[in-house]
């Protein structure tokens, strides 16, 4: 004899665990930027690395262009429903320290968000900045 289940239980079994339904994989903004770099013929010197061994924290920078002394940071989670790390007080403060350190080392920091990556304005700003520097 088979056990009867309610419609609600059946739907729950079909959908799987709730955690797998509600969590979304964040967009790969850095991967999208890499594709835009390739299309524009731009190659960052380093990606997702520490600026140098003297920095006081374990900060990692998204894209570093050493020859031009430019850093590009892609800020993800700015439009997340619960807010991202970059929009919390503590996260924003940490980012301020990170960018101030990079500027003290002689680098310009170009910050872009997910909308700028998706609409192409991030690569436009980078191209204009690199052209301006020479």
pLDDT in tens, 54-102: 988 889 999 999 999 999 999 887 776 776 666 678 888 999 999 999 9
pLDDT score for 83: 67
pLDDT, the chain, mean: 84
- Cα–Cα distance, 35 to 132 (Å, whole number): 22
- Full-model pTM: 0.75
Q: Output the CA torsion 31→41→46→118 (10° steps).
A: -30
Pick the CATH number of 25-133 from 3.40.50.1110, 3.40.960.10, 3.40.50.10800, 3.40.50.720: 3.40.960.10
pLDDT score for 115: 93
Indicate the range of 24-33, 58-67, 114-123 predicted with least confidence: 24-33
């Amino acid at each position: 004899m088979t056990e009867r289940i309610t419609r609600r239980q059946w739907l729950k079994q079909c959908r799987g665990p709730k955690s797998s339904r509600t969590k979304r994989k964040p967009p790969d903004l850095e991967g999208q930027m890499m594709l835009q770099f390739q299309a524009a013929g731009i190659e960052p010197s380093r990606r997702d690395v520490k600026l140098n061994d003297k920095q006081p924290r374990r900060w990692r920078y998204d894209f570093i262009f050493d020859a031009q002394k430019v850093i590009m940071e892609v800020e993800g989670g700015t439009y997340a429903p619960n807010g991202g790390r970059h929009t919390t007080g503590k996260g924003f403060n940490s980012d301020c320290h990170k960018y101030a350190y990079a500027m003290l080392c002689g680098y310009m920091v170009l910050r872009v968000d997910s909308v700028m990556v998706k609409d192409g304005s991030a690569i436009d700003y980078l191209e204009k900045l690199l052209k301006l520097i020479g």
